[in-house]
Amino acid sequence: MDIYVRASWLLIAALISVLFAPRIQDVAPGLGGLAYVAGLAFAVLLYLSVLLHELSHALAAKGFGMPVRSVTLHFLGGVTEIEGEPPTPWREFVVAVVGPLTSLALGGLAYLAIDPAPEGLLTFVVEGLAIANIVVGVLNLVPGLPLDGGRVLRAVVWWLTRRPHFATTVAGWSGRVVAILALVTPMLLGAFTSIEPHLFDYFLAGVIGLFLWEGASQALLGAKIRRKLPGLHARTIARRAIGVERDLPLAEAMRRAEAEQAGGIVVLETDGTPSGVVVESAVSATPEERRPWVNVGAVSRPVKPGLLLEADLSGEALLLAMQATPSSEYVLVEPDGQIYGVLATADVDAAFAAV
């Protein structure tokens, strides 16, 4: 599992340092310019708690045997990338809820440490950590995607209705409502309370609202895609393929393919195992008059293990297999090793658009 820190994080860390330095100078007047360093250290502590939040998602997923790709910290917090979707509502619920619970627990611990901490800088830091973690924990429980609470809502609707895609749609739309609420909160506060929102509040609400709207829309799009996925079968999308030897002239290979109405050409070793697959773009880049003089091997890509796919793959498993080894062509094989045909990525895209 990889852990990344986006450059945008530095910007916010610097902002936190600048915003908090004057308050740090208040509680620890002896620090002088070091207050900025203390502010930066405070920012690092804040992001360490975000990291713990994300790691709890990652560990829960790993505990269920789901591969975790990466944990990334960015300016608005963090994101844990888990491969595939949790297979049951219960797993979805647990993986989602441990994050906010971790933040609330960290906030609670920091809160308990406020009194015993010596007056001054340490109290300030502990207090800040308590408030920040409790706010992160509570806000993340708001029930709308892409927030953790949205995934909790999705798990509950999924469990109640047994319809995972419907549950995503509900949580996605709920996320859009939350996004709009985030956007208009400063206006509502200004209109109905005595609080006077600053320009910065409008800006912050705008950034957060857009971020949430984007995330919710992406979740809705994902649900739409997943609904269509079961209709994708490698076997029905594949082109018939002919097998030829590596040093056959391309023109002759194309003539044979046309005669057999095959849309793919696979390079075979003398023992019949596939060692290459002809790349369509390389063929079209070869002028017609050159084709009698070019070997099939010269316009083919070597078949690595990832380019050999089972002919029975379908749906999400098919897409995951293609993602693992990106290529424009794959060779489909039967369980006994026989070649079934060539799967072109362009054909999968077209089939997907047509479902």
CB of 85 to Zn ion, least distance (A): 16
Cα(151)–Cα(159) distance, integer angstroms: 12
Identity of the residue, 17 or 102, whose beta carbon is nearer to Zn ion in the bound complex? 102
User: Quick one: tokens of 319?
Assistant: 């897409």
CB of 2 to Zn ion, least distance (A): 18
Identity of the residue, 137 or 243, whose beta carbon is nearer to Zn ion in the bound complex? 137
- Nearby residues of 80 by Cβ (< 8 Å), 6 or more positions away: 54, 55, 57, 58, 61, 68, 70, 71, 72
According to the 3-state scheme, what is the secondary structure of 131-194?
HHHHHHHHHHCCCCCCCHHHHHHHHHHHHHHCCHHHHHHHHHHHHHHHHHHHHHHHHHHHHHCC
> What is the DSSP secondary-structure string of 15-51?
HHHHHHHHHHHHH-GGGTTHHHHHHHHHHHHHHHHHH
Looking at beta carbons, which residue is closest to Zn ion? Answer: 99
CB of 40 to Zn ion, least distance (A): 24
CB of 55 to Zn ion, least distance (A): 10
CB of 161 to Zn ion, least distance (A): 24
Positions that interact with Zn ion (CB under 5 A): 99, 148
What number of other Cβ atoms are within 10 A of residue 121's Cβ?
18
Going by C-alpha positions, the residue among 188, 339, 165, 352 that lies closest to residue 262 is: 339
Identity of the residue, 86 or 99, whose beta carbon is nearer to Zn ion in the bound complex? 99
CB of 57 to Zn ion, least distance (A): 5
Identity of the residue, 82 or 241, whose beta carbon is nearer to Zn ion in the bound complex? 82
Identity of the residue, 52 or 189, whose beta carbon is nearer to Zn ion in the bound complex? 52
CB of 288 to Zn ion, least distance (A): 57
Identity of the residue, 99 or 209, whose beta carbon is nearer to Zn ion in the bound complex? 99
Going by C-alpha positions, the residue among 179, 149, 153 that lies closest to residue 164 is: 153
Cβ atoms of 57 and 80 closer than 8 Å: yes
H or E, element range at 266: strand 264-268
Cβ atoms of 127 and 112 closer than 8 Å: no
Identity of the residue, 17 or 49, whose beta carbon is nearer to Zn ion in the bound complex? 49
